[in-house]
Structure formats: C-alpha cells, structure tokens
Amino acid sequence: MRRVNPSTAIATVLIDELIRHGVREVVLAPGSRSAPLAYAVEEADRAGRLRLHVRVDERSAGFLALGLAKTTRMPVPVITTSGTAVANLHPAVLEASQGHVPLLVLSADRPQELRGTGANQTTDQVKIFGGATRWFHELGTPERRAGQQAIWRSVIGRAVAESRGLPSGDPGPVHLNVPLRDPLVPTTDEQPWPESLEGRAHGEAWLSLRTPSSHRGSAPAGPGIAPVPQTLVLLGDLPNPTQAAELSELADAAGWPVMAEPFGQYNRGRATANGPLILRAQEWLEDNLPERVLIGGRVTLDRYVARLLQHPKVSVEVVTPLTSWADPGHVVRRVHDWADIERSHQAVSSCVDRAWASRWRRANSDVARAVSPLIDESWPSGPAVARTVAHNLPEYAGLYVGSSNSARDLDLARDPHRIASGVVAVANRGLAGIDGLVSSAVGMSLARPGRAAYALVGDLTFLHDANALLIGPEEPQPDLTVVVMNDNGGGIFGTLEPGQARLARSFERVFGTPTVARIGALCAAHGVEHELVTQRDVLADRIAHPKPGLRVVEVEIPREPQRQLRERLRQAAIDALA
C-alpha cells in the first residue's frame, strides 16, 4: 500500500483516471490549495502519460484549455486553486457551453469546515458557473479510510462522459470541485493507505464509455432531407470542423449552391465566395429566392442572412449534430438529425433546378469580378489583409479567426478557389467574445504539431488577451503566427449604427476607444518576435513561409475608410447583378 496523505491520494487517483479515459493535455494555473493536483499532473507529465501546460493567468489558462479541447475534441482539464482563480475561468466556461467544447474544470477548494468562516481565498464555488456546465459535482473531502477510490474514479468517468456529450449528444464544460485539507504537499511519514489506489488492470478505465464515431446512423430513420430543387445550403460554425465537409458533400450530390461562413474544413471550391454581397442585391435576390434554406451550424456574421431567413417565401430547415439548434428569428420549420445527411444522398442526387443554380453561380462570378479589384486596391484595409492571409495559407494550416471585424473581413474577401486544400478555420463563435482568442489559438497550435498555425485578430482582441504571450521557458511552445490588424480601437463600430456621421461627436471615446498601445513594445517585453508589415507581398511571404515559435505580424489599418469601403463593395455587387 502507498504511504500518502489524503490530499495526495485523491489527486493521484483523479489524474490517473483522467489519463485512462484518454486525456492527454492538461492546463494548470499554480496555487497553494491545488498543490496536490499540481504534483500529480507534473509527475504524469514527467512519466510521458500526458502533456502539461502551466499558465500564471487563469483566464488565459481557461481559453488555452478551450483551444486544445476544441481542436482535439477531447476533454481538457484546467486546474486552479480556490477563490477568484475559479471565477476567472467563467468566460471560457461560457464559450465552451455555447460552443459545445469539452472543457473540464478541476477547482481546488477549502474543506467544508473552513467555508463561511472568513478563511483566506475562500468563496462559494459550488455551482459557481450556474447553468453553463453540463454537470457539476463536488467530491467529498478525502479522508484516511477505505472505499473512496471507486467513488473518485467513477466521478471522473461521469465527468468525461458528460463533457463529451455521452449519452446526451450535447458536449460542453463540466466542473468538479475538489475540497482538500492540509497537508497539501507529499509527505513521507504517512501510514500505508487502507486500500489499493491502483485502477483496473491493464490501464483500463473504471467506467467503460460508449465512444461515438459519428452521429451518422445514430438516430432512428426518419423521412430524411427532401429533394427540394431550389435549395440554398448555408454553413455556419459547427462543433467539429470536418462536419462542414459532410453537408457540403450532400449539396454537391444535389447540385445545390452553398454559402459558407469562413469556418470549418471543407472543399471551399464548392462554396459561393460572395454570398454576403449577393444577398445585398435585393432585386436580384427577389427574382432568385431559394425555396428552402438548409442550415448546418450557427450562422452569426451577416445581417442580410438573417433577413433572408425571415423572408415569407423561404422555408428554413436545420440539420444538427447536437440536441439543440440555433433559431434566433423563430423561423425554423424542420430539424434534421445529422444522420439524415448520409441517408439522403440518393434521394437528393441531382435534384437541383439547374437553371436556378446556374444563375447563382453566374451571380457569384459577376460579383467576384466587380469587387475583387476594389478589395485589392484598398490595401491595407481589413478585407485586403484578410484576403492576403487566407490566400497564402499553406496546405492543412489552422487559422483561428477573431470574433469582430476579422471574421467579417474574411467572410467578405476570401476566394474559396484560392484557399489551399486541408485548411481549417476555427473561431470562438459560441458567444463571439473578443476575450481569450490568442490563448485559444495557442491551444490550436499545440494540438496540431507539425501543422502551420495562425491567428487573425484585431488590436483590441490582441491586447485583451496579451497574457497569452506569457509562456514560461519550460512549457511546450506553439508554432503560431498572430496577424494583428491594428485599426487603433473598435473599428467594427464604425461600420455599424454608431458609426453614422450624425453620431460622430460621441463615437471616438465610447466606441472607437483608441489605445495607442505599442504592440511591438508589448511583444518585446514578453520576448516574442514582432514585425510591422506595410507591404502586401511581405505579409504574403510571412504567411506562406512561417517560422517556428510564436511571432506577431502587425498591419496598421486606417479605420476611417472601412465604412466607405463596405458601402462601395455593396454597391458594386448591386450594380453587377442589375
């Protein structure tokens, strides 16, 4: 029997059982109360059983874990001490909940007898994340007695299952609260533990979980997706980037046109590149309305898409791999299980109205010819920078896209035919906040070794998550190029209602929020390579030929012309389709 104290015993068992369930990445934010868990994960890291990532800022740690989990689709624990450390994980937990990401919070806590007494770093951590978690459980404070190992290991099995969406079909964050008493460090004068702390033989997990290979074929057979000839497929953000390809293949079999937001991994050659601009040509659209819009994923970027879905002549259907779906306009008439995609291939094969689909393809070509020169000559505008990044990504690169103008610029400017094969674009579209984007991108990079990784963000997004640069010398290092589109503040508001000329007096202070922060100096303080780029061909080279390690490429973008550029693009699209 091992000679360990109770806190060391529970920490050792919890981490061992996580590993048995396939957990290979763990993020740790150091603290005193969480010391037993820290020792356990560090020992497992030294033994090569998992990879440990230590961060000193809990908010950054939470989003790093989210980026790792979003990329691997496996639970990634983030470990914190008690008190405000736990609260700092709340933004990442909320994003994981809305984005269906298997994040697993392990928070250390004071034992029950110290709560409500004014003890240091002690607050109410029970269900601190409210309804954002798929499951919350507080373990009992460990004691020197037999019969606890089965409880500890069973709880880990349940936590992993809930985070992966087993059997609910709704993956997301889980919170385990772990009360720990002193001593919090390994001790050598303990009595033998009263029971074996070893798990099941041969490294088997305590609880056997059903592993879902896919949602395909998992649901009872239904009527499937009907062969409606004039169907427009709309792709948004999906939990798994490869799912976009599955729905895109169905559209290809039917011959339906596809409009795709710039997320996921799929053959972008099938997508209508200029969908957001085509929708602005209202007269053309009225003459070429789809009878049905079939949506996969959450569609959040463009207001004209929302207008299309509200059109009384358009029927809206959703296909979802989850138990939930987005319908903010209350317009969805039918919901399909993801398995309907596979079972509907034969039924919809070549069912498209060819003349109607041809008009959509021709509209795409006409708009592309009209707007491409405007985007190219607008350098260094946001769309021009986003296009340069997208069109020079190496094959199978990963791109983490910021939530504000970055995503919208990419949506406007990319040409799917000029994006290398295998490129995957991801974003935190669950709540679409600007927090934690760089940390999440670091997680993506670390989860895809040997593949080039990039982030495309604005200056406020970058500054908001500056602690993502704070990576210790002993930690696994990302190979990540962060492109910062610096328009000195909240440029997106200049393209929205607050940017109207009649509201100019109030704009700059409360919406524009210029910071005049020196990004190069900030990078230098963290020992991160920085380059200010002014030429398009230089940016293209930096993207096409990435260096190892973490580096920041900054492009300064004049904020004032962005609203006018979008208006010119809109008018060019309308004129092209007149």
* Mean pLDDT, residues 533-549 taken together: 97
pLDDT of residue 212: 55
* Mean pLDDT, residues 204-231 taken together: 74
Tokens of 536: 């398009």
Q: Tens of pLDDT along 237-285?
A: 998 888 888 999 999 999 999 999 988 875 555 677 788 899 999 999 9
* Alpha carbon distance, N-terminus to C-terminus of the chain: 82
Domains of the chain, first to last: 6-186 (3.40.50.970), 231-362 (3.40.50.1220), 379-560 (3.40.50.970)
pLDDT-derived band at 214 (thresholds 50, 70, 90) equals very low
For residue 219, with 0-12 CB atoms within 10 Å meaning exposed, 13-18 middle and 19 or more buried, which class applies? middle
Helix (H/G/I), strand (E/B), else coil: 112: helix
pLDDT of residue 222: 64
Q: In Å, what is the CA distance from 291 to each residue of 232, 288, 341, 577?
A: 8, 9, 19, 20
Q: pTM for this structure?
A: 0.94
Spatial separation of the C-alpha atoms in residues 382 and 494, rounded to whole Å? 13
Q: In Å, what is the CA distance from 108 to each residue of 13, 81, 138, 142, 194?
A: 15, 5, 10, 12, 24
Res 223 pLDDT > 80: no
Q: How far is C-alpha 294 from the chain's CA centre?
A: 23
pLDDT of residue 544: 97
Res 226 pLDDT > 50: yes
Least trusted range by pLDDT, from 73-87, 288-302, 480-494, 531-545: 480-494
pLDDT-derived band at 485 (thresholds 50, 70, 90) equals very high
pLDDT of residue 215: 46
Q: How many CB atoms lie within 10 A of CB 352?
A: 22
Of 428, 544, 464, the residue nearest 71 (C-alpha)? 428
pLDDT of residue 241: 81
Report yes or no: 60 and 92 within 8 Å, Cβ to Cβ: no
Res 569 pLDDT > 70: yes
pLDDT of residue 227: 94
- Strand order, beta sheet including 103-109: 51-54, 25-28, 76-80, 103-109, 174-179, 135-138
Report yes or no: 533 and 542 within 8 Å, Cβ to Cβ: yes
| Helix intervals (H) in 234-353 | 243-254, 275-278, 282-287, 303-310, 339-343, 345-348
Q: Which comes out higher in pLDDT, residue 403 or 497?
A: 403
Question: Tokens 């982030």 appear where?
Answer: 455
Buried b (16+ CB within 10 A) or exposed e, 225-253: bbbbbbbbbbbbbbbbbebbbbbbbbbbb
pLDDT of residue 267: 55
Least trusted range by pLDDT, from 103-112, 350-359, 503-512: 503-512
Q: Tens of pLDDT along 117-148?
A: 888 888 889 999 999 999 999 999 999 999 99
Report yes or no: 94 and 431 within 8 Å, Cβ to Cβ: yes
Helix (H/G/I), strand (E/B), else coil: 53: strand
pLDDT-derived band at 560 (thresholds 50, 70, 90) equals confident
3-state secondary structure 151-166: HHHHHHHHHHHHHHCC
Res 216 pLDDT > 60: no
Q: Tens of pLDDT along 490-530?
A: 777 777 777 787 877 887 788 878 888 999 999 999 999 99
pLDDT of residue 217: 42
